[in-house]
């Protein structure tokens, strides 16, 4: 018997405009009779365990996917959610390996309600505390699944996805019209990102053996709480890892920000409008970037953030824009998630009652743009916890003029939504 494929598509993208729901998705949808649980009962300790696990997975994946001297941006949160939808149908060794790599420590009956609770809370961030007609912050997370129309999936699996991820099954004709199905999924991605991302799935990525595609898309846009004055932006020097200098637009302002000086690096926390999310910048000391980046494997973001206090900074930093496209299958395999990618070995019997399914590909794409007004991006950031001001008479001069690591984090939960590095803002 031919082994059919379980294709996991991960989409994490941000656009400069509000995402629009497309009307080109013609596939009929099978909806579970179970509605999404909009008020999941999740103990606070479970949410904390989920967030810490997601952060640990994200940092491990960062170490795996970074390449040479290239800029990088990805969403560990988006990847975790999409793979969690696949994990919901995994059994035995396949399940254990996925849990180990994704750092899922909660039992299945607790894990998916916790993921649901976190996504609902994050999607609610933009709905509170804003003046009528004013919207300086947007965060929208959506899930969608496509299944071969002639294939039978277990009702229990579809119920779990409907209850915890709000996703019905869109029926696709992968067998007879694989390329048309690919284009339809690409159109959904384009619709959700206001045409920011085109042709995410390349030709031949969907075949007649594809049976299921799981997608997650994130849109994020926010203004800085303290915006930079465009008139203060001037070309300045940014020193690369090889010692060469490039000229880039450097933004500058004097304001109170979260700050900490650690052994080998500085931390700067830049809040977004509404103080709900922040960008955390890890700025290694001169000639110390490689050592700091390697040491991130043992990084506890929550403890890192707890070291931050408030200080008046004379801050300068570059404008930058990064787009990354990453095939994750080989990286996840190397991290220990092996069985899921092997036909005949993978066990996703929780989806269809057979051992025919396996993951054939995992694709992820991300975008970030940072300027004087804020961020339209995909990235990772940390939480500002410190509440006491540092006793500094004069503003502390912080010049982000060399490679740095950044995160975008939800302040309330500590969830790292995006993670990346800027090696050369001019590239």
Q: Contact 409/76 with Cβ under 8 angstroms?
A: no
Number of Cα atoms under 13 Å in the Cβ half of residue 373: 8
d(CA 218, CA 27): 22
CA dihedral (221, 223, 224, 227) positive or negative = positive
**Mean pLDDT over residues 384-392, rounded?**
28
Beta strand ranges found along 5-159 (DSSP E):
5-9, 29-30, 72-74, 137-148
CA distance 408 to 418: 5
Cα–Cα distance between 382 and 407 in angstroms, integer? 6
pLDDT of res. 379: 24
The rounded mean pLDDT for the chain is 84
Query: Helix (H, G, I), strand (E, B), or coil: what is residue 144?
Result: strand
The reply to whether 5-222+322-368 and 227-318+379-422 are identical in fold is no
Domain boundaries 227-318+379-422, corresponding CATH code: 2.30.39.10
**Tokens (6 digits) for 419:** 């993670």
Task: Choose among 129, 398, 369: nearest CA to 255.
Answer: 398
The whole-model pTM stands at 0.89
**CA 128, chain centre distance (Å):** 22
Query: Residue 117 — very low, low, confident or very high, per pLDDT cuts 50/70/90?
Result: very high
**CATH-assigned architecture of domain 5-222+322-368:** 2-Layer Sandwich (3.30)
DSSP three-state, residue 242: coil
- The pLDDT, as a whole number, for residue 363 is 86
Q: What is the dihedral of CA 323, 275, 257, 296, to 10 degrees?
A: -50
For 225, the 3-state DSSP assignment is coil
| pLDDT-above-90 percentage for the chain | 54
Residue ranges covered by each domain of the chain: 5-222+322-368, 227-318+379-422
- Please report, for the chain, how many H helices and E strands are present, in that order: 10, 17
pLDDT at 74 over 50: yes
CA-wise closest residue to 41 among 166, 164, 165, 128: 164
The DSSP-derived string for 102-120 is HT--S-HHHHHHHHHHHHH
Residue 104's CB is within 10 A of a number of other CB atoms, namely: 25
- With a cut of 60, say whether residue 151 has pLDDT above it: yes
Query: Worst-scoring range by mean pLDDT, 68-82, 152-166, 192-206?
Result: 192-206
- C-alpha distances in Å from residue 397, one per residue of 80, 315, 405, 411: 37, 6, 19, 25
CA distance 358 to 338: 11
Q: What is the pLDDT of residues 126-143, one digit of tens each?
A: 655 445 555 667 888 888
Residues 273-301, mean pLDDT to the nearest whole number: 89
**Weakest-pLDDT range from 37-46, 285-294, 366-375:** 366-375
Query: Please, where are the H alpha helices in 323-367?
Result: 329-334, 349-352
Nearest Cα neighbor of 399 from 283, 235, 308, 247 is 283
Stretch 204-220: mean pLDDT, rounded? 85
Listed in sequence order, the residues at least 6 apart from 242 whose beta carbon sits closer than 8 Å to its beta carbon are 69
Per cent of the chain over pLDDT 70 is 86
User: pLDDT at position 233, please?
Assistant: 96
- Residue 401: count of CB within 10 angstroms of its CB: 19
180-189, 217-226, 250-259, 364-373: which is most confident: 250-259
Tell me the C-alpha distance between 12 and 365, whole Å: 6
Confidence of residue 26 (pLDDT cuts 50, 70, 90): low
* Residue that has been written with the tokens 């977004």 in this structure: 272
Nearest in space to 77 (alpha carbons), one of 95, 63, 57: 57
How far is 422 from 427, CA to CA, in rounded Å? 10
């Amino acid at each position: 018997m031919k082994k059919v494929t379980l294709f996991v598509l991960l989409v994490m993208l941000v656009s400069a405009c509000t995402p629009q729901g497309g009307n080109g998705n013609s596939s009929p949808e099978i909806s579970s009779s179970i509605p999404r649980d909009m008020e999941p009962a999740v103990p606070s300790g479970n949410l904390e365990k989920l967030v810490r696990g997601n952060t640990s997975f994200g940092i491990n994946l960062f170490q795996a996917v970074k390449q040479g001297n290239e800029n990088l941006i990805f969403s560990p949160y988006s990847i975790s959610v999409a793979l969690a939808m696949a994990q919901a149908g995994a059994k035995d060794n396949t399940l254990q390996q996925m849990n180990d790599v994704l750092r899922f420590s909660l039992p299945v009956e607790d894990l998916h309600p916790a993921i649901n609770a976190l996504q609902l809370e994050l999607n609610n961030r933009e709905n509170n505390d804003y003046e009528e007609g004013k919207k300086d912050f947007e965060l929208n997370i959506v899930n969608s699944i496509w299944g071969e129309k002639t294939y039978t999936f277990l009702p229990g699996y579809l119920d779990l996805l409907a209850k915890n991820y709000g996703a019905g099954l869109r029926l696709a004709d992968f067998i007879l019209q694989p390329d048309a199905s690919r284009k339809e999924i690409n159109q959904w991605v384009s619709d959700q990102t206001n045409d920011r991302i085109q042709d995410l799935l390349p030709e031949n990525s969907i075949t007649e053996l594809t049976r299921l595609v799981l997608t997650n898309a994130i849109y994020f846009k926010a203004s800085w709480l303290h915006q930079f004055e465009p008139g203060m932006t001037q070309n300045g020097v940014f020193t690369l890892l090889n010692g060469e200098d490039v000229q880039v637009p450097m933004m500058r302002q004097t304001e109170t920000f979260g700050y900490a000086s650690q052994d080998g690096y500085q931390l700067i926390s830049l809040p977004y409008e509404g103080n709900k999310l922040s960008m955390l910048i890890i700025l290694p000391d001169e000639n110390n970037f490689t050592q700091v980046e390697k040491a991130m494997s043992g990084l506890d973001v929550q403890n890192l953030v707890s070291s931050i206090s408030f200080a008046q900074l004379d801050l300068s930093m570059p404008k930058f824009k990064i787009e990354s496209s990453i095939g994750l299958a080989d990286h996840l395999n190397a991290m220990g998630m092996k069985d899921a990618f092997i036909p005949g070995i993978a066990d996703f019997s929780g989806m269809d009652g057979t051992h025919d399914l396996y993951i054939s590909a995992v694709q992820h794409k991300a975008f970030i743009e940072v300027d004087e007004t804020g961020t339209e991006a995909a990235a990772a950031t940390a939480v500002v916890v410190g509440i006491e001001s540092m006793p500094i008479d004069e503003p502390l001069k912080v010049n982000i003029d060399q490679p740095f690591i950044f995160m975008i984090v939800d302040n309330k939960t500590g969830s790292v939504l995006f993670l990346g590095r800027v090696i050369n803002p001019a590239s």
